[in-house]
Structure 1
């Protein structure tokens, strides 16, 4: 029968299992079997293959290796960093404070690394991840320039065969998909795009050597997070910048500042409490929402709370009050405050009208974080084109044609985002039981249990993707949470002589329903966002993240583990 792994403390996770009903855990007789050891594995037969050497992949390698497992990481890029290796566009910067957007698993690492800014830019984040890879000797187990093409289950042994475009073939007991939720670039199908005679750049694959735009007429399509960060820099570099706005988005100034030694000292001394607050919070940061509803306060009190969050900067403005994303009236108070702030820094009221969203409540798309974005439209060399009023008709060799006019360009920048949450996984041919591919299993939208298990795909663990808080939380702490859970699950199997964990169909169905119900209880589904896959033509419209909060989610998955992985089949091959 199933039993808890040795050393697991039931006190670690108390409370009800809100994610699944009774009877979902199938008890399987486990025969005593000596756990596998690295000395019994050849160079191509491993315990774990990790796909991706970004934040989650690096920690996964360190964690699994530290518990005696043989691990290989396969990475398509030429270096570590994931999204921070590829996204080198001007202005690329994290929208979570640097002190929080960092690993918590090693206190010496926390104490030795010095962040230079409140919100770190791409070069500094990449340098940090390179430091982590060097400090923990991770490079020796990473295969760079290796894109995984196929992952196929051998049903009799429940081992996975992993193949890459280099001809590499590996066999693994476990496969961990650390591909990231925002790593598959979306290039829109605009007629004539391939005929443009100038250079075409995508923010997510920006040339590593940089780009000289001096004297050029530059056009940028897209005003999401990447576009909003890049546009002030593109405007300063180019002779003329034309911004083609498909949808207006909400952005809040970062209020970025340099960090001095005293600030860093206080932050490092306060790490234990900061991490505790973050792990129990809604989004993985230590900043908690006001204890009262936005509607319970006087106008002056409410404005003071919004002013405080405005100074804090960035995405946390959407979490000023606990009901801001569930009550339309509360949300409107935030929107009106935001609009007043933005109108105050834009000279032309007509430009302001185009830049102010009217099609979704504030915060239901991820609030962007900017430095001087709205002020950029006061520059003489910047023109805003409203594609709602005059859509792009086609692109030719010389520029962009809207239904209203032609815009001559030398360089075209696509700030068109990602096929989020599932795009990178969909590029691989992942074949589970009965020859069913993951793409077939997810034809109507991703279906997971806890975001960690998929029926028909035993021992395949997707990280920080659909069914988990994913992009609604701090991705570094989220990665640690998921990797630690998978590591504990592997130890549980080995301690009991078992072979695999596989999510039960009933547990998957219940979890998908719970995620949907939680989303429906908020304003989040009112936005035509990439959380729903709305930016990709033909993609099923399913709200993919778990929106019940990072701390709540962490408690749920801990409870499942403490209950002998309730909702999973524990299998002996």
Structure 2
């Protein structure tokens, strides 16, 4: 017999967003459950187990900031690794008993809205056992759930091990003494490379664009030389600060223009940002770093000087830290590194610039490029990123009452209202997706802001006996205009980044992130709710 789950709210995904919705909505007496495709909680931190996987936000900000969830968990590193984050989510479950309302190993495959009942009929990979009907759907699928692997000729012919960093097995891969290739130098590439380089027989890195990575300045509970751990009585102040800064961290752009500073003043401040580590050099820099090309280039030249000083080989220097910036600094998200550039001083590590020597094919034995010819490997690792921000949403076939899919809707460009909902798709919301502060913000801060606003809306609908809500097309058009208008005043459009979908061949290039910062985003949401949710229609 097929079991029917009749829900007020179905949440898709058990990462930060999904767990936040679950614990908050349960307290408000909504009948809510999560469908989670994997066998555990934590979202990206349960899935991504590649070597060196680590968060790039200081731990005080990379956790739930509400209630007293944080109490009783002792972080051991300023920037925690995957295993510690997995332990944190288990701590959260012990505190809140969330797993009892999660349907594990249950992937949502499709959802169809029924206008006669104002409900979603949801199908999963377990639809023969369970049918889900829900008044509302919360898509908490993250911004990086659809991996991208370039379609190189011959990949299936390779006789060794080939895998993407996003599907690293829990049992790990033994690379000790192996000949290894890493294709891609984004975040997962940088972290994997610096972790496995001391273990392998030989490592060859295939780079398309340099990662303008910043010094992490890691600190541990036992060694707080670089950064002091906050005391428990400081946590609430820290949490409060996440709503008042551009990024949702505890620091901001300084209220000074680099264009008005002398060379010496700039150098001194740049040095201080490097000393602090993390993202200070990126989003704690001069307030005009993303609008003034001359200031931005000064920041790049400082980064270039500091980075090149760590690399011995002159050819590798130019590949990893070219004298001319490949794009304005920070218009692609920089990764945080601990020893990445020193890796290339090892005699067993090479790097190939695939812009000058493209990959021709993958052979039975290895990889063939135009200049180097065939190089033999035992393991090929694709660290080639994701179809970010829209890909995860489009993984699910979602159709409205007119049998139109979100993919149909977005065929000529992404349209949302506040990066939360889509016109003509009632009773469905998403977090940490396109046209929100997503990629330019601290994840948990952005997620809590969005989710709490949606929850407040659901409570109001229940009080007012409303069963259907949908964004208007006028609101979508206005929001797209706002998002594009802010973006085009910056240097961000000058980079071919996943911020604009430019990393995926054939994907439409468009603005996918709100660049106005957290406080401005909050003000838009507050204005909407205080104006009786203008831009939405309720019935």
Report the equivalent of 2:66: 105
Report the equivalent of 2:419: 451
Report the equivalent of 1:393: 360
Q: Tell me which moved more, 208-217 or 355-364.
A: 355-364
Could you tell me how far apart the structure 1 residues matched to 2:414 and 2:280 are? 28
Deviating above 3 A after TM superposition, structure 1's stretches of 4 or more consecutive aligned residues are 260-267
Asked if 1:79 corresponds to 2:40, the answer is yes
* Structure 2 unpaired stretches of 5+: none
Could you tell me how far apart the structure 2 residues matched to 1:290 and 1:264 are? 21
Report the equivalent of 1:302: 266
Asked if 1:70 corresponds to 2:31, the answer is yes
Question: Mapping of 1:411-430 within 5 angstroms?
Answer: 411-430=379-398
Q: Secondary structure at the match of 2:203?
A: strand
Report the equivalent of 1:336: 301
CA contact (8 A) 2:10 2:136 kept: yes
User: Which whole-Å deviations, capped at 9, do the CAs of 1:524-572 have from their partners, x for residues lacking one?
Assistant: 111000111111111111110111101210121122112111111112x
Report the equivalent of 1:5: none
Question: Mapping of 1:467-482 within 5 angstroms?
Answer: 467-482=435-450
Q: Secondary structure at the match of 2:135?
A: strand
User: Which whole-Å deviations, capped at 9, do the CAs of 1:308-332 have from their partners, x for residues lacking one?
Assistant: 2112223331221111011101101
> Do the aligned partners of residues 535 and 261 (structure 1) sit closer, same or farther apart at CA in structure 2, a change above 3 Å counting?
closer
Question: Mapping of 1:151-550 within 5 angstroms?
Answer: 151-167=111-127, 168-260=130-222, 266-319=230-283, 320-356=285-321, 358-404=325-371, 405-550=373-518
Q: Secondary structure at the match of 2:181?
A: strand
> Do the aligned partners of residues 199 and 261 (structure 1) sit closer, same or farther apart at CA in structure 2, a change above 3 Å counting?
closer
User: Which whole-Å deviations, capped at 9, do the CAs of 1:480-508 have from their partners, x for residues lacking one?
Assistant: 11111111010010111111221000000
Aligned length: 529
Could you tell me how far apart the structure 2 residues matched to 1:317 and 1:87 are? 27
Could you tell me how far apart the structure 2 residues matched to 1:122 and 1:172 are? 33
CA contact (8 A) 2:435 2:511 kept: no
Please state how far the C-alpha of 1:96 moved relative to its aligned partner: 0.5
Report the equivalent of 1:61: 22
Report the equivalent of 1:30: none
Report the equivalent of 2:92: 132
User: Normalising by the residue count of structure 1, what TM-score does the alignment of the two structures yield?
Assistant: 0.90
- Relative contact order higher in (CA < 8 Å, ≥ 6 apart): 1
Please state how far the C-alpha of 1:265 moved relative to its aligned partner: 7.0
Could you tell me how far apart the structure 2 residues matched to 1:435 and 1:73 are? 25
Q: State the Cα RMSD in Å.
A: 1.5
CA contact (8 A) 2:60 2:238 kept: no
Q: Secondary structure at the match of 1:314?
A: coil
Could you tell me how far apart the structure 2 residues matched to 1:51 and 1:367 are? 29
CA contact (8 A) 1:318 1:325 kept: no
CA contact (8 A) 2:213 2:335 kept: yes
Please state how far the C-alpha of 1:433 moved relative to its aligned partner: 3.0
CA contact (8 A) 1:114 1:264 kept: no
Could you tell me how far apart the structure 1 residues matched to 2:230 and 2:419 are? 36
Could you tell me how far apart the structure 2 residues matched to 1:158 and 1:544 are? 30
Q: Secondary structure at the match of 1:244?
A: strand
Q: Secondary structure at the match of 1:259?
A: coil
Could you tell me how far apart the structure 2 residues matched to 1:171 and 1:364 are? 42
* Structure 1 unpaired stretches of 5+: 1-41
> Do the aligned partners of residues 435 and 323 (structure 1) sit closer, same or farther apart at CA in structure 2, a change above 3 Å counting?
same
